[in-house]
Structure 1
């Protein structure tokens, strides 16, 4: 597509909501367009990778892929969580193939080069010849594991693959301020409080759907029966995050009317209020008085996304039966969304679809996400800073 036409359609996406069109089909179906978008939107920003609860103890590690890149989530001997490229600096061999605990060093299965848990190269067997474990040309100090820039917030592990995004605290200062009141210690609910959904859709459609409450009456009739469309409000922070809030959050109750303990020190808003935001690019968060959650969207392919859901509580030892019940409730809600996001992905095969339109009254949060993608891509194409 000629450069002027590229600019035209991106400008149309970023236009005021009354005039704007959504991102066109290529952003959901075309590998070349998506590769360019990934560089601007996922690699150059603070993208969500995983959660710290996946590696809870020193020495725990988990291999991951993000945009095809092999990464290693590792908690070092001091308990610091780090992200490394999961490859040996010798010949590029994958170091860790499955989650496990590193008791000593990370040993490459190919030539046994070994790395400390902080990434230092500590052993190079026979590198100088049989029985010679060093060589003047091999400087171990410069051959440690490549660390990926990372940041932890609300147990979510964010990475900046390009390495040049502004500091996380600067990028998300507004959200950190907005949610300062709910910035409390959180405790992962354990195995029964995490699950993964394989969804045949582009990751952006999951964000677009999560942002808005417009679909509640038809997609979530059970939820809408007590948290109605009219009980919701928009959350809109251009260029950063968007979503929805409700004034009528209803706590889950057990068989004897018991509830989860609340986070301490919350204002009266949180007695019945709750907020749900999409943190650009690929993180969906929920905050309530008694628990919270994080959904990390893993972009697997142009039409395939893994939704990694993790539930957290105000105290570490909440009743197991209640945690099971809560996870089942949320899983049911999120599964209801699968039909619509997969349907929208299929709809992107229609050649005449121009990206669609936005309801000025109801689609503001979703339009902001489209505009953010368009603006970052435009900046990428023009070689300028988008932040």
Structure 2
């Protein structure tokens, strides 16, 4: 049965009671809802899009698709990560088609229009007939690349496509509060896990990370973190959970498992950061591809004074690969379940353990409500 996405779409979700419904199934399966999210949520938000260390040299470039739009990142002459719409101003060809390095200029392969790393148009050969000639009234300065608001927080790059989101300092403040006492600048990237495309909606991967309810069941062989010792984090749009383990609990953790005090933090819409005391950070990049597909990668960071040996890094890599694949298996089944008519009501959420999931879903719903009038 086709579900109309209109102003009645959230009726069950909006019901008031001690136990709330989750988002309707169509929010995870319908391309129309995914398009609403692209246009009204990801375009208007500070979206997490990449890692600064992957653009190490001036001139390094990386193409992205954000909210269905072609974008690229570049490390500019000022050693700053900048973002631009990935479109030549001449005939609108996609400029950057793969990650790489540009020595001096970013050059369109079609007619050799060339831009510097601050987006200024430097060359438009033969555009006026002669090699360096320009049409009357045509000024190179008026035809640079369109820049996108971009900020880097530690190693993590965020962009805002429509230029209307709140100041970045306001956006990042809840995460900063949760990081008090932790010093991310002292951590170094040591490994990247690239999971490619996961056949699940991006929200399922986010919700799975936010709630601790599943940990003792799904991760019983990879973690030693009792559910009852967790607590929920809901600090504005910084959502997740945390656990404080005693020294005795950490000593008793099963060998090879995650048995340390941890914080599982997200920033709406798609930033994911795990703190694992005392010396490890993990950051997930979830890139929505379609209603039922998400690209996911994870960068593992170790404190600069901790053990960076090959054995230590490989242990971390294997542990997190196992944890992610356990989560992926659940998220893929969550995606499959949402094709049942039973899921149209959104299921129900624990009023204790899934409070942050509910808040995440409310932020999604509030972002797309303006697009629901009349239905799609």
Q: TM-score, normalised by structure 1?
A: 0.86
CA distance in structure 2 between the aligned counterparts of 1:91 and 1:333, rounded to whole angstroms:
46
- Residue deviations 1:291-315, cap 9 Å, x none? 2121010001111011121112221
Determine the structure 2 residue equivalent to 1:335: 325
CA distance in structure 1 between the aligned counterparts of 2:159 and 2:15, rounded to whole angstroms:
30
Q: Which runs of 5+ in 2 are unaligned?
A: none
- Residue deviations 1:304-349, cap 9 Å, x none? 0111211122218822331122122111111100111000111111
Determine the structure 1 residue equivalent to 2:363: 372
1:279 to 258, 264, 267: 267
Determine the structure 1 residue equivalent to 2:44: 44
CA distance in structure 1 between the aligned counterparts of 2:229 and 2:361, rounded to whole angstroms:
25
1:188 deviates by 3.7
Whether the 8 Å contact between 1:59 and 1:74 is mirrored in structure 2 is yes
- Residue deviations 1:204-239, cap 9 Å, x none? 000111111111122101234x2111221111134x
2:285 to 291, 296, 305: 296
Determine the structure 2 residue equivalent to 1:264: none
Matched, 1:237 2:232: no
1:42 deviates by 1.3
CA distance in structure 1 between the aligned counterparts of 2:293 and 2:9, rounded to whole angstroms:
25
Determine the structure 2 residue equivalent to 1:263: none
CA distance in structure 2 between the aligned counterparts of 1:320 and 1:339, rounded to whole angstroms:
28
1:8 deviates by 4.5
The SS at the match of 1:352 is helix
The SS at the match of 2:147 is coil
CA distance in structure 2 between the aligned counterparts of 1:352 and 1:203, rounded to whole angstroms:
21
The SS at the match of 1:172 is helix
Determine the structure 2 residue equivalent to 1:358: 349
The SS at the match of 2:342 is coil
CA distance in structure 1 between the aligned counterparts of 2:43 and 2:238, rounded to whole angstroms:
17
CA distance in structure 2 between the aligned counterparts of 1:272 and 1:2, rounded to whole angstroms:
44
Alignment RMSD, CA only? 2.7
Q: Which runs of 5+ in 1 are unaligned?
A: 258-270, 383-387
CA distance in structure 2 between the aligned counterparts of 1:237 and 1:17, rounded to whole angstroms:
22
Of the structure 1 ranges 41-50 and 30-39, higher mean CA displacement relative to structure 2 is found in 30-39
The SS at the match of 1:181 is coil
1:149 deviates by 0.9
- Residue deviations 1:19-41, cap 9 Å, x none? 42111122111112221122222
Whether the 8 Å contact between 2:18 and 2:351 is mirrored in structure 1 is yes
Paired residues for 1:56-67 under 5 Å? 56-67=56-67
Matched, 1:90 2:78: no
1:63 deviates by 1.4
Whether the 8 Å contact between 2:53 and 2:155 is mirrored in structure 1 is yes
Paired residues for 1:70-81 under 5 Å? 70-81=70-81
Determine the structure 2 residue equivalent to 1:221: 220
CA distance in structure 2 between the aligned counterparts of 1:249 and 1:285, rounded to whole angstroms:
22
CA distance in structure 2 between the aligned counterparts of 1:377 and 1:357, rounded to whole angstroms:
21
Count of aligned residue pairs for this structure pair: 362
Q: TM-score, normalised by structure 2?
A: 0.88
Residue 205 to residue 17, structure 1, CA distance change in 2 (3 Å): farther
CA distance in structure 2 between the aligned counterparts of 1:146 and 1:325, rounded to whole angstroms:
43
Paired residues for 1:313-324 under 5 Å? 313-315=302-304, 318-324=308-314
Paired residues for 1:1-387 under 5 Å? 6-10=6-10, 12-14=12-14, 18-190=18-190, 192-224=191-223, 226-238=224-236, 240-248=237-245, 272-288=260-276, 289-315=278-304, 318-353=308-343, 354-379=345-370
CA distance in structure 2 between the aligned counterparts of 1:323 and 1:97, rounded to whole angstroms:
32
Whether the 8 Å contact between 2:34 and 2:290 is mirrored in structure 1 is no
Whether the 8 Å contact between 1:44 and 1:162 is mirrored in structure 2 is yes
Whether the 8 Å contact between 2:238 and 2:266 is mirrored in structure 1 is yes
